[in-house]
Amino acid sequence: MKKILISALSLMSICLSASAQNDTFKPSGKPIVTVFSDFTHTSSNGNSNNAFELSRAYFGYGYNFSQDFSGKVVFDIANSPAAGTTAPGVSAFTAFLKNALVEYNHGIVKANFGLVGTTMFSLQESVWGKRYLYKSFQDQYGFNSSADLGATVKLQFIPELSLDMAVFNGEGYKKVQADSTMQFAVGLTAQPIKNVYARVYYDYMDKQSYLTAKTSQSSFNAFLAYKSEKGTLAAEYNSQSGNKNTVDHNWSGFSIYGVLPVDNQFSVIARFDDLTSKKIGTATKGWNTATDGQVYLAGVEFAPIKGIQITPNFRYSHLTSGVNSSSVSLNVGMNF
């Protein structure tokens, strides 16, 4: 990681020197701030709980060195269970470096190097657009991390067609372990008609050389969406074998969601997720007993001004483990 960051900083210095020779361009930057908070009442198998929560915050800074080169550093501060305790409601904030990258963007080529965003669900997350409310499918259930050490290249052949390729460390930004195992990814995105997006994606990661009784991991997803000022309707299918390089940890699922604007400030949101994992041996249920099943979500988003979203919503989970839960929440998102 240290070598990558040193290389990234060196490249930034070169970009800054080059930009000084461009009289028509003025280097500039801006802060990055995103905050998610909520109040939730949850009922599960006869038990209930009320909680206020500041679930996540991103703080960083983006800078344009020239017309072609830019850089970004972002910290992820998450609210997670406090170490050493199982008491409900006891949590602590942990901070991670999520992004530290250099980007080159010129002509048909867009490349990122460093601690970068992964490409598995970046389009889905953008179309869904409600990260403060609920993560996109692959992120929510742990198919992949949203950022990792590595490099990405996107070739925008024409406005309607692009190819992206990437190589990652494969451990995610919270575990930047250095080893010889790499994750390779490729994706193809098309916009056959205006406001319609179609994407297919595949990645492969060999088993870690330092581990035994492990297997390779591969992922596939297909995505189709319509998104315009009139609304959003999207569906995606996801499958993965060898999750976290574990033998027989195969699973698949799909997500369908929509957003219908009522006026300039109000939108109706609905989403359905279904996740199924492989049954191992004589087991009657899949290996993923924690989240296998269906999730239903519905809410109304109120956006009084740009950068603020306030959404009362209802969620119902019906899991194959036999656990059923419902919650009424008020989620708030802020970004600028």
How many separate domains does the chain show? Answer: 1
The predicted-structure confidence for 199-232, as pLDDT tens digits, reads as follows 999 999 997 665 666 899 999 999 999 999 999 9
Q: Are 149 and 167 in contact (CB under 8 A)?
A: no
Helix (H, G, I), strand (E, B) or coil at 21: coil
Tell me the residue range of the domain where 179 lies. 2-335
23-41 confidence digits (pLDDT tens)? 588 999 999 999 999 998 8
The predicted-structure confidence for 225-259, as pLDDT tens digits, reads as follows 999 999 999 999 999 999 999 999 999 999 999 99
Q: Is 112 exposed, middle or buried (0-12, 13-18, 19+ CB in 10 A)?
A: buried
Among residues 282, 281, 280, 277, which one has the least CA distance to residue 319? 277
Question: Nearest Cα to 11, choosing from 97, 114, 98?
Answer: 114
How many other CB atoms sit within 10 Å of the CB of residue 196? 14
pLDDT tens column, 282-330? 999 999 999 999 999 999 999 999 999 999 999 999 999 999 999 999 9
CATH code of residue 29: 2.40.160.10
Of 35-44, 79-88, 140-149, 228-237, the range with the lowest mean pLDDT is 79-88
**Exposed e or buried b for every residue in 246-269, given b needs 16+ CB within 10 A?**
eeebbbbbbbebbbebeeeeebeb
* Backbone φ, ψ for residue 11 (5° rounding): -65, -40
